[in-house]
Amino acid sequence: MIPTSEKCALTLAAVVALLTCVLLQGAQAGVVEDFNHVERCKDSLYMGTPPRGYLSNSFTRICQRYQDKPRYVTLYDTHKHIPIYSAYTFKKSDGEKKVDFPWMFEPQLASEKSSSNMEPFPQSSSMHMNFEDTQAVLEDYADVVQYERGQLNPDEHQSDPLDKASTYSLTNVVPQIREFNMGPWAEHQDLIRKRLNNYCRGKAFVVTGVTTSGHTIRRNNLDRVAIPEYVWSAYCCIEFDQNAPYFVRYKFPVYAAYGMNDRVNNHMVEVPLKNLEKFLKGRMDVDKNFQIFYNDCVPNN
């Protein structure tokens, strides 16, 4: 017969083991409650802290995992079927854009029992309705020639082939007007790539997001994918070249930009971070404490 004290010890051990198992499973999940652990993409965020101040509770946090490794984070709107923002660490890159990666979806948005890794869309044209309910699918972009799939975490800002591949998830994509996507937006992404390549000496954190206005891509008489009114981006690099020319140096450690997703009035405007946050407060459902980077990317000295 097992003494009572030993029974308690065994019970406690079983509980601890169960809790450990549950916690480990949670840490592996692609869809997460928070980004507070390395396995939940914490390293993609400056000081491990995501943008704060979003008032909606309907957004879903995705740790974008590819081949069992966390790559970047996305705050996703499962009703409008677009990311609200993606946050990632910039990697020095030659700017080469890969186009041979398959487009992927996020299984866990549809079912908690599904894989925590993004997966390529199946070859057959039909997706299970659960997936279409929670996210955009390839058919949503099939017959809208005026829009391009604009990556919030662009492959040109990554160097590792697997990191590049992970940017080809539709949960990282918003519909961008072709003229904006191939013009001002592409030029801005290249400008930031060159600036961070040349003058950032440490790790650079980037957050790229959108505002929406009610316009949507429709398919089969249903509103399917929200069309952003503005696309914005901000970077944070606290270790930078102190001897850089002034016209570059004043844009460190942090700077931002926004542009209208439009055919004509679509130029990108570079502004200080606080100016961007003020601009966004008037166009998004956020509170007065809305903040993109922890402590505005000011290091604690």
Could you report the per-residue pLDDT of 73-109, keeping only the tens digit for each? Answer: 999 999 999 999 999 999 998 888 776 889 999 998 8
Specify the pLDDT at position 284.
Answer: 94
Judged by average pLDDT, the poorest of 10-19, 157-166, 278-287 is 10-19
Kindly provide the b/e burial profile for residues 112-127, where b requires at least 16 CB atoms within 10 angstroms of the residue's own CB: eebebbbeebeeeeeb
Count of alpha carbons within 13 Å of 250, Cβ hemisphere only?
Answer: 5
Let me know: does 179 contact 263? Beta carbons within 8 Å: yes
Q: Strand 254-260 to strand 222-236: parallel, antiparallel, or no bridges (unpaired)?
A: antiparallel
CB atoms within 10 A of CB 215: 14
Between CA 256 and CA 158 the distance in angstroms is 19
* Biggest CA-to-CA distance, the chain: 82
Between CA 34 and CA 42 the distance in angstroms is 9
Q: What average pLDDT does range 146-163 have in this prediction?
A: 96
Identify each DSSP E strand in the chain by its residue range. 31-32, 52-54, 59-66, 69-77, 82-90, 104-105, 119-120, 147-151, 173-177, 204-219, 222-236, 254-260, 268-271, 286-291
180-216 pLDDT, tens digit per residue, is 999 999 999 999 999 999 999 999 999 999 999 889 9
Specify the pLDDT at position 126.
Answer: 62
Q: What residues form DSSP beta bridges with 176?
A: 148
Is pLDDT larger for residue 291 or for residue 27?
A: 291
Band of pLDDT at residue 124, cut at 50, 70 and 90: low
55-69 pLDDT, tens digit per residue, is 988 899 999 999 999
13-59 pLDDT, tens digit per residue, is 443 344 433 333 333 447 888 888 888 899 999 999 999 999 988 89
227-250 pLDDT, tens digit per residue, is 999 999 999 999 999 999 999 999
- Residue 281 burial by Cβ neighbours in a 10 Å radius (0-12, 13-18, 19+): middle
Q: Of 237, 174, 176, which is closest to residue 202 (Cα–Cα)?
A: 237
Specify the pLDDT at position 125.
Answer: 60
Share of the chain above pLDDT 70, in %: 87
Specify the pLDDT at position 127.
Answer: 61
Specify the pLDDT at position 168.
Answer: 96
Return the structure tokens found at 240: 């930078």
Q: Of 187, 157, 191, 194, which is closest to residue 172 (Cα–Cα)?
A: 157
Q: What is the mean pLDDT of the chain?
A: 88
CB atoms within 10 A of CB 226: 22
Cis link prior to 50 (omega < 30° from 0)? no
Q: What end-to-end distance do the CA atoms of the chain give, in Å?
A: 61
Specify the pLDDT at position 214.
Answer: 83
Return the structure tokens found at 79: 């009703």
Is 0.85 surpassed by the pTM of this model?
A: yes
Count of alpha carbons within 13 Å of 135, Cβ hemisphere only?
Answer: 27
Specify the pLDDT at position 244.
Answer: 95
Specify the pLDDT at position 7.
Answer: 44
Specify the pLDDT at position 301.
Answer: 63
Specify the pLDDT at position 47.
Answer: 95
